[in-house]
Structure 1
Amino acid sequence: MGKPDADGPGLPDLPPEWGRVVVPDDASALAADAEQIRRELRGTPRRATPSPPARPSLALPLLVLLVAVLTTLAGLAAVTWPRSTPAPATSPYAPPAGPTGRPLPALDLVDAGQSPVPLRGLVPMMIILVDGCSCPDDVATATALVPAGVTLVTVAGDRPLRFTPPPGASVRALADPAGGLRAFLHLPATPGVATALLVDRAGVLVKVVPEVRSAEDYRAELAHLAR
């Protein structure tokens, strides 16, 4: 038989809403209550606070995706990027067109007496510029080859060249102190070298031989001047 202990001496005060608590003398009297409590505890699932799911790391997938995108873009750029057309090989420098085919300028040269001589009044003609040298061999060869009706004109710098032409040859020795003929040709005098010009009946320059080496440099054109 149990006794009430709620009001007994030596026990702490219990909440009044618990009512009167009776402590049995034999603990086995509580076995039925203990078994019921255990059954209730086994039937009630424990509610553990779920831990938040671990969030997978996105750094590695993003890095792989970025590398793939960059690789694709680089491949597309290599295929579609406009390629520069290689520059064509530069051709050697071409000098400006010479005076060949142009009318001879209306120059007045001077003879041995310093009298003016209109150069275009002597066409058709072959002019040998001897301001770089007297070149007697070149003058003699040209004199022998000049056909009838064509005048051979030697043009020196300050004074006309002195020489004795063969009988019957149409030769004029003139000088060009102002250098107008060289200026027209844009061709400076070369020491030791003669320059030849061939002018037709219309006063048009048909050929320029900057440096006369042999008669073959002008033979064919000289023959055509008489026609």
Structure 2
Amino acid sequence: MGMPDAEGHGPPDGLPDLPPEWGRVVIPDDASELADEARQVRRELRRLRRRSGLARPARSHPRPDGRPPLGLPALALVVSMLITVTGLAAVTWPRSIRSGSTPTVVPYPTAVPSPVGPLPALDLVDAGNSPVPLRGLLPAMIILVDVCACAERVTEAAAIAPPGVTVVTVTERREVDTSPIPGVRALADPAGGLRAYLHLAGHPGQATALLVDREGTLVRVVPELGPVEAYRDDLAQLTA
């Protein structure tokens, strides 16, 4: 590989090595910095053309086939290619952050809490296998108890639910609990449409709660129904 620059970088992949007699070649960060060198090379080429024209006739030292010598055009082509390759390397060569400099950080806007999404318009079934529109129960705290009855947690939720908020337990089994907890309406979702719509996976020993306002907006998902302090404020806001 060619000689590395001042930061220890070698030439980019795909570029040929530079002759060692050229010494260390420093490529500027801005390709426009090569403008002075380019002008100097062009002046030197014009000077060589004038000297070449004065020193010998145009037909001196012809090539065997009678065409003019290739020395000067070849030199011009090589210099032009060198300037082009150097400019491309200056633009595409990756540079590390210099010591002492601080990278620019674009501030990211602060996230604003927003509702989780809408509640699907599903029909559940009661103990008599009669359809019950889910949106007809709003506002509601819907507790999915298909993998955990969690009777103690459900009882706590029903005890702090404000007036007007329906506490509903939903299981994916066809059999609805015939001895429900006081203040709690027990329903079934045999097709599992509620979990499927919300992409909620059941975890053994855990009940998941959905807090839904009167507009049908799912304002919060409680993945694991725990102590009431974790969701008391959100539950109180469902009737606001």
TM-score class, shorter = 0.5 to 0.7
Following superposition, the deviation at residue 210 of structure 1 comes to: 0.9
Per-residue Cα deviation, 1:120-169 (whole angstroms, up to 9, x for no partner)? 00000000000111111111101111111110010011122343433xx3
Q: Distance in 2 between matches of 1:193 and 1:179?
A: 17
Q: Distance in 2 between matches of 1:162 and 1:142?
A: 19
Q: Distance in 2 between matches of 1:150 and 1:163?
A: 21
1:204 aligns with 2:217: yes
Given that 2:147 and 2:205 are in contact with CA atoms closer than 8 Å, whether structure 1 keeps it comes out as yes
Structure whose CA Rg is larger: 1
1:217 aligns with 2:230: yes
Match of 1:157 in 2: 172
Match of 1:132 in 2: 147
Within the candidate set 88, 99, 111, 2:126 is matched to: 111
Structure 2 unmatched runs, 5+? 1-18, 30-89, 98-102, 104-113
Following superposition, the deviation at residue 110 of structure 1 comes to: 0.5
TM-score, normalised by the number of residues in structure 1: 0.58
Q: Distance in 2 between matches of 1:123 and 1:182?
A: 18
Q: Secondary structure at the match of 2:117?
A: coil
1:79-98 alignment to 2 at 5 Å?
80=90, 82-83=93-94
User: Structure 1 segments of 4 or more deviating over 6 A?
Assistant: none
Following superposition, the deviation at residue 219 of structure 1 comes to: 0.7
Given that 1:123 and 1:203 are in contact with CA atoms closer than 8 Å, whether structure 2 keeps it comes out as yes
Tell me the matched-pair count.
145
Within the candidate set 158, 161, 170, 1:143 is matched to: 158
Q: Distance in 1 between matches of 2:137 and 2:204?
A: 27
Within the candidate set 179, 195, 199, 1:186 is matched to: 199
TM-score, normalised by the number of residues in structure 2: 0.55
